[in-house]
Amino acid sequence: MYGNPDEIPVTETTLPKPAESPYGYTMQIEEKIVNEATKTLLTQSILLRYFNPAGAHPSVQIGEIPIGKPENLIPSITQTGIGKLPELKVYGNDYPTRDGSCIRDYIHVSDIAHAHTLALQYLLNKKNKLACEVFNLGTGTGVTVLEVIKAFEKVSRVKLNYVINPRRPGDVVAVYANNELARKVLGWDPQYSLDDMMSTAWKWEHKLKEDASIYTNPNFMMN
């Protein structure tokens, strides 16, 4: 959404830079569509700007199932850790960051879900001051790709097989959120740590493997 910002953390009033990827561009366009629709339909709306959703529900009953090879970092890590992928590709270790890899803001999916309920309550209670309001949903902490890998290795006790590749077009160097507005206005308070994200994602990956083994078991098919 923000492109390569001049300053971080980014706030809701940070002017977006040109998108670095088609995906980022679609997010910018979608916000414009919602803004225009709000004006035309004379209604109210809230734009929730996710940063990098990660993890699975603590019950391990709900999680992410990428179609084909995952594009996001966390499922790529867990699939490599469990053996679905032969290796994890880290795109670039020469960025101007503390360890050379890109910095992102990872936020647990359960914290995002909670923000949705708070946003709906906010609209239903007619607390909105503007027809269309915007809130960042991030932890407010930037984490590098290599730090995420280390967090996974700590939680899972699995040494991850990863290789450093050249930079990938479309990746911004660093972006993470200022989430003060969501905290103040919606009463939102993220509860899950990076370790929680990795732990729940890893448990979910194991559940997917167990479910797959059940459904492919000849005895199951006969029953």
Q: Which residues are catalytic?
A: 23
Q: How far apart are the C-alpha atoms of 5 and 70, rounded to whole Å?
A: 26
- Evaluate whether 77 touches 160 at the Cβ level (below 8 Å): yes
